[in-house]
């Protein structure tokens, strides 16, 4: 790097090496623009900082949009039916399940089977159902244990 105090003070156009050093991470197009404009080190740095500021504003705006979209989707999800996609996949098409939902073990197994039929592995289906319905999982464990306990 051959930057000297004189280069900055006299307004000598910056070299490619100087621009790359001062504006670390700048795209090649930006470096070329600065060379073509015969920008000084100071002008190149100022232009790069302006571009970075614009990029930050764009990203902050995008973050705001995504936060709003997330809020909207969260509110929409809260308003939807309590039935999970797993439960919906068990229906016969008439809105009623093909399983006696008072039988926790049968309900649990039917939900797992429905997800396996849709292409998931039994392990993934089980993991997702535990996460989606922790209370049902606890009820299933209790009922299954009660049924299969040695007497």
Of 59, 79, 99, at which residue does a domain stop?
A: 79
> Does 66 share its domain with 114?
no
The answer to whether residues 72 and 34 belong to one domain is yes
**Into how many domains does the chain fold?**
2
**pTM of structure:** 0.43
Same domain, 71 and 93: no
Domain end residue (candidates: 79, 108, 134): 79
Residue bearing the bigger pLDDT, 84 or 148: 148
Same structural domain, 96 and 39: no
Three-state secondary structure of the chain: CCCCHHHHHHCCECCHHHHHHHCCCCCHHHHHHHHHCCCEHHHHHHHHHHHHHHHHHHHHHHHHHHHHHHHHHHHHHHHCCCCCHHHHCCECCCCCECCCCCCHHHHHHHHHHHHHHCCCCHHHHHHHHHHHCHHHHHHHHHHHHHHHCCC
Domain ranges, residue 68: 5-79
Q: What is the pLDDT of residue 93?
A: 43
Same domain, 16 and 71: yes
Clarify whether residues 75 and 141 are in a common domain.
Answer: no
Give pLDDT, residue 38. Answer: 95
Same domain flag for 11 and 44 = yes
The answer to whether 27 and 51 are in contact (CB under 8 A) is no
Model pLDDT for residues 16-37, shown as the tens digit of each residue: 999 999 999 999 999 999 999 9
Given a cut of 80, whether residue 58 has pLDDT beyond it is: yes
Other Cβ atoms less than 10 A from the Cβ of 137: the count is: 16
Of the two residues 77 and 71, the one the predictor is more confident about is 71
């Amino acid at each position: 790097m051959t930057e000297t105090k004189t280069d900055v003070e006299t307004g000598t156009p910056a070299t490619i090496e100087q621009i790359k050093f001062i504006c670390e991470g700048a795209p090649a197009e930006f470096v070329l623009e600065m060379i073509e404009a015969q920008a000084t080190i100071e002008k190149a740095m100022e232009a790069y900082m302006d571009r970075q500021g614009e990029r930050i504003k764009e990203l902050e705006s995008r973050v705001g949009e995504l936060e709003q979209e997330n809020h909207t989707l969260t509110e929409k999800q809260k308003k939807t039916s309590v039935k999970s996609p797993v439960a919906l996949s068990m229906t016969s098409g008439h809105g009623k399940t093909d399983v006696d939902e008072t039988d926790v073990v049968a309900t649990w197994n039917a939900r797992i089977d429905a997800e396996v039929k849709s292409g998931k592995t039994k392990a993934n289906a089980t993991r997702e159902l535990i996460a989606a319905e922790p209370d049902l999982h606890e009820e299933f464990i209790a009922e299954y244990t009660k049924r299969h306990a040695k007497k």
